[in-house]
Amino acid sequence: MLVNMRDLLADARVGGYAVGSFSVANMEMVLGVLQAAEELRAPVILQIAEVRLRQSPLELIGPLMVAAARQASVPVAVHFDHGKTEQKIGQALELGFTSVMFDGSHLPLDENIAETCRIIEMARPYGAAVEAEIGCVGGSEDGSEEIAMHCTDPADAVRFEQETGVDALAIAIGNAHGNYKATPKLRFDILAQVAEDTHTPLVLHGGTGISPEDFRRCAQTGIQKINIATATFDSVEQTVRGAYDAGAIGGYYDLQEAEVQGAYKNAHRHILIFGTDGKA
């Protein structure tokens, strides 16, 4: 069933677990993620980032994501990730996404607050949740830029929460998008401080490459949503490659099945690590 992200994250906060937010690029990935969620009875979030719309146009993949969420037997929120433009955020809201992110992390805090407030006003008539980001998560969602990391200042998080009333807040604690070049050293002290000082559900971006131990510690310390993108794409690509190498692809539909399997395996693994199984 299609649900609001606010409700998913409120339940996660009470239950002390984190909900996986999986990036998808096509129908096969949507099917694989939902197959894992249904099998494990897990709430889940389907997301697509604005930078990915070149490959997967929003007017095509958006209705697919919303329809798949409606049909699912577990709670599914549909989220627009790293929204940059009002036009695309508005389009996602019109298509029935139950959550949108405005990424103003590159802006000075005052501007990030002002712009986030405008997006919250825009989303209000739709009832959709809004996620924002403060501090700077390393890398970019499509791997095209090297962005230096700069950790969230807990005092900024308090001010941001008070002045925006945002539904979910992505923070930077040494996490980065894409595959990590070195083992990430997450600043759990910063996470603990932000979690203590604020009430807003917290989001960890850059999930690919974080260890199961660190994921669990994040969920226990106050993260309620974890974004996974690169691991999904890598799992699909590697599963397809493996199936070719094993001589298991005899035609198009074997290829399609391998894609679904790649997305399924990745979502299944992460749902178990995050402890979301059985929470639907």
The DSSP bridge partners found for residue 78 are 46
How many chain residues are in contact with ligand 13P, going by CB under 6 A?
16
Contacts of 207 (CB under 8 A, 6+ apart): 20, 175, 215, 226, 227, 228, 229, 231, 270
- Nearer to ligand 13P by Cβ, of 62 and 249: the residue is 62
Residue pair 170/101 in contact by the 8 Å Cβ criterion? yes
By CB under 6 A, name the one of 218, 228, 243, 258 that touches ligand 13P: 228
Smallest gap from residue 24 Cβ to ligand 13P (A):
11
The span from the CA of 195 to the CA of 188, in Å, is 10
- The contact pattern for ligand 13P, residues 250-279, with x = CB under 6 A and - = no contact, is ------------------------------
The span from the CA of 172 to the CA of 164, in Å, is 18
Smallest gap from residue 78 Cβ to ligand 13P (A):
14
Part in contact with ligand 13P (CB under 6 A); list of ranges 59-67, 181-189, 224-232, 244-252: 224-232
Q: Is residue 219 within the footprint of ligand 13P (CB under 6 A)?
A: no
In the numeric block, the tokens 């809201």 are attached to 93
Marked catalytic residue, from 81, 103, 167, 214: 81
Q: Which of residues 86-125 bind ligand 13P (CB under 6 A)?
A: none
Q: At what angle do helices 109-123 and 86-94 cross, to 10 degrees?
A: 30
Residue pair 152/137 in contact by the 8 Å Cβ criterion? no
DSSP for 64-125 reads HHHHHHHH-SS-EEEEEEEE--HHHHHHHHHTT-SEEEE--TTS-HHHHHHHHHHHHHHHGG
By CB under 6 A, name the one of 79, 187, 205, 279 that touches ligand 13P: 205
81 noted as active-site residue:
yes
Half-sphere exposure for 56 (CA within 13 Å, toward CB) = 21
Q: Which of residues 160-189 bind ligand 13P (CB under 6 A)?
A: 177-178
- Nearer to ligand 13P by Cβ, of 133 and 161: the residue is 133
By CB under 6 A, name the one of 28, 81, 133, 161 that touches ligand 13P: 81
Q: Is residue 227 within the footprint of ligand 13P (CB under 6 A)?
A: yes
- Nearer to ligand 13P by Cβ, of 75 and 83: the residue is 83
Tokens read off for 132: 């924002």
- Nearer to ligand 13P by Cβ, of 203 and 243: the residue is 203
Instruction: Give, as one character, the DSSP assignment of residue 52.
Output: G
Which residues bind to ligand 13P, rule: CB under 6 A?
Answer: 23, 49, 81-82, 141, 177-178, 205-208, 227-231
Which residue numbers are catalytic? 81
